[in-house]
Amino acid sequence: MKKKNVKVILNRSPKLVNMIKVLFMVLTICVMNSCAEDSSDDGADCQTKLDNNEFATVAANLACTDYERGSAELGLAGFLFSEFIKEDASNNFPAVFGLTATGCSNTGTDSDAGVYKSINQRHFVRAQYFTRTKPTVRTTAEKEISFFSTLGELIVMSHCEIDTDLNGTISEVENKSFTQINPNDSPGNSELTVSSTIFQVLDSGGNAKLIDTDLGTCVNDPDHEGIWNAANVPCTFPTVFAAIYPIVKVESLQQLFDPTATKPITDPFDFLSTYTTRTRLLMTDLTSLGVKKDDDLYESVSETVGKMDNGGTCSNDSIKVLDLMTNIVRVAAPGTSTPVTGYKNYNKLNFSKIAEIETGENAPSCPVSFPSCTASTLSTARIIFQISVGNFTGLYETANTEIKDTLTKLSTLTIDSTTKEIIPVVKDDNKIALKELLCQSE
């Protein structure tokens, strides 16, 4: 047996606290200096009610204009300009918006505005509906409300989903907990053991056998699983082959994700994708309100988005580990297909993919029993997963907890459930992938 241990630190969660700083900068500039001239009809009854903070009445009144109803929804969301000009406003946004644990957990779908994850966010997305989605041609006043509602939504999202104690400060602990990337400095080793004596051999009829080249023995492997156990039936040692696969034992994998996390693994990626989409809308509103693309304000917001939706093109040890594990889960047998259809078309991984992370690892030598074997013959390995010491499975869902947890969550994030192919990681597509998350610290 030849074993190589690989240990790579994966503590690369993005500094989400910086997002809040950028948002506050935008908010401060626009509230204090105004992004455009104010526009309202002081003589209208709806405007009078707005001035009196009768927000619920205006929001429900179909006779009020889209601008007025959007303004009312902004008020219901807790966005009151008088609160933001207070000296300590930036130190406690949850208090400014009136955020509560109950309100932050109030999720649902609004008939006009779509999905929301807090009662405050619902009002913000409704304000955006009235001032961005619904109007055919937007007024300057509607653009202002659209801008502020989007900005307020981003701040509320950040605190509701990351600032778990709602104390106004996003700590490093909360930041790491949100990303669900393993916060430990030592997330474990990846151990892939390549057998130098056990091979899976396919005959001309496609039947699989496992051979022990040291002992000169073999057993039938009808399911193509690659595991030598008591259930295998002894066979005659083959002398010809159609294919030979080295057996690679996945004994352990680094825990990419926090094993103590209780929320769905998709939560941080849904958040970041929404954040990216909303921030781009924010930039659209800035432009329509006369803020130039070379303005410091616009550039700061744009830079924040670029760091998130970055295309995952960086190169670091974490990405190498991710690529290896993603390739493993891409070829792995799905639980619904085995052992009914067997493992013939699954768990086959190009040895070069293993070598990408198992630096210095060489492909096994051809067995002397098969003189026609060449190095290219052994380009593909059959992988199996450890259940416990000495016990293996072809199904990672039944492997040990660390392997199962890492590959299950990784599958959810990186593999298209329909095509079983890796989901493309694309820059500026308004979706944040795990690879992009790991590249944000570059």
Q: What are the start-end ranges of the E strands in 361-407? A: 380-388, 391-393
* pLDDT given at position 89: 66
- The answer to the question of residue 190 being in a domain is yes
Q: Examine the domain organization and report whether 157 and 236 are in the same domain.
A: no
User: What is the span of the domain harbouring residue 227?
Assistant: 186-257+314-439
- The answer to the question of residue 282 being in a domain is no
CA 33 to chain CA mean position, Å: 37
CA gap 64, 57 in Å, rounded:
10
- The answer to the question of residue 122 being in a domain is yes
- Residue 286 · residue 35 · CB < 8 Å: yes
CA gap 106, 166 in Å, rounded:
15
* pLDDT given at position 290: 85
Q: Examine the domain organization and report whether 154 and 233 are in the same domain.
A: no
Q: Which amino acid is at 335?
A: G
Q: Examine the domain organization and report whether 88 and 236 are in the same domain.
A: no
Q: Which residues contact 399 (CB under 8 A, 6 or more apart)?
A: 250, 385, 386, 387, 393, 407
Closest C-alpha among 114, 122, 35, 111 to residue 73: 122
Q: Examine the domain organization and report whether 108 and 198 are in the same domain.
A: no
The three-state secondary structure class of 335 is: coil
CA gap 256, 33 in Å, rounded:
45
Q: Examine the domain organization and report whether 365 and 324 are in the same domain.
A: yes
Strand-pair partners of 247 = 382
Q: Which amino acid is at 250?
A: V
Choose the final residue of a domain: 120, 142, 169: 169
- The answer to the question of residue 265 being in a domain is no
Our CA dihedral for 404, 406, 412, 417, rounded to 10 degrees, sits at: -50
Q: Which residues contact 23 (CB under 8 A, 6 or more apart)?
A: 151, 154, 155, 158
* pLDDT given at position 358: 54
Domain count, the chain: 2
Q: Examine the domain organization and report whether 195 and 335 are in the same domain.
A: yes
Consecutive H or E run containing 55: helix 55-60
Q: Examine the domain organization and report whether 205 and 163 are in the same domain.
A: no
Q: What are the start-end ranges of the E strands in 137-242? A: 190-202, 208-212, 217-220
CA gap 54, 48 in Å, rounded:
9
Q: Examine the domain organization and report whether 344 and 200 are in the same domain.
A: yes
- The answer to the question of residue 114 being in a domain is yes
CA gap 96, 136 in Å, rounded:
33
Choose the final residue of a domain: 102, 135, 169: 169
CA 65 to chain CA mean position, Å: 39
The three-state secondary structure class of 144 is: helix
Tokens of residue 43, six digits: 């003589």
Report DSSP letters for 345-408, one per residue. Answer: TSSEEEHHHHHHHSTT--PPPPPTT-TT--GGGGSEEEEEEEEETTEEES-GGGS-HHHHHHHH
Q: What is the pLDDT along the chain (442 residues), one digit of tens a residue?
A: 344 444 444 544 444 555 555 555 555 556 545 554 444 444 459 989 998 999 999 999 999 999 999 999 999 999 887 776 666 766 788 888 999 999 999 999 999 889 999 999 999 999 999 999 999 999 999 998 998 899 889 889 989 998 999 998 888 788 878 888 887 777 777 888 887 789 999 988 889 999 998 898 999 999 999 999 988 999 998 888 999 999 999 998 888 888 888 889 999 889 888 988 998 898 898 888 888 888 877 887 787 777 788 898 888 777 878 888 888 999 999 887 778 789 999 999 988 777 665 544 566 788 888 888 887 888 899 999 999 999 999 999 999 999 999 999 999 999 888 887 888 899 988 888 888 888 875 5
CA gap 93, 426 in Å, rounded:
33
Neighbours of 289 (CB within 10 A): 17
Return the residue matching tokens 């009768």: 54
- The answer to the question of residue 362 being in a domain is yes
CA gap 264, 253 in Å, rounded:
21
- The answer to the question of residue 246 being in a domain is yes
- Residue 189 · residue 7 · CB < 8 Å: yes
- Residue 403 · residue 252 · CB < 8 Å: yes
CA gap 285, 298 in Å, rounded:
10
The three-state secondary structure class of 256 is: coil
Q: Examine the domain organization and report whether 197 and 330 are in the same domain.
A: yes
Q: Which residues contact 235 (CB under 8 A, 6 or more apart)?
A: 209, 218, 219, 220
Neighbours of 212 (CB within 10 A): 16
CA gap 337, 155 in Å, rounded:
45
Choose the final residue of a domain: 104, 137, 169: 169
Q: Examine the domain organization and report whether 193 and 165 are in the same domain.
A: no
Q: Examine the domain organization and report whether 241 and 383 are in the same domain.
A: yes
- Using omega within 30 degrees of 0 as the cis cutoff, is the peptide bond preceding 339 cis? yes
- The answer to the question of residue 175 being in a domain is no
Q: Examine the domain organization and report whether 63 and 97 are in the same domain.
A: yes
Neighbours of 83 (CB within 10 A): 15
CA gap 4, 250 in Å, rounded:
11
* pLDDT given at position 61: 94
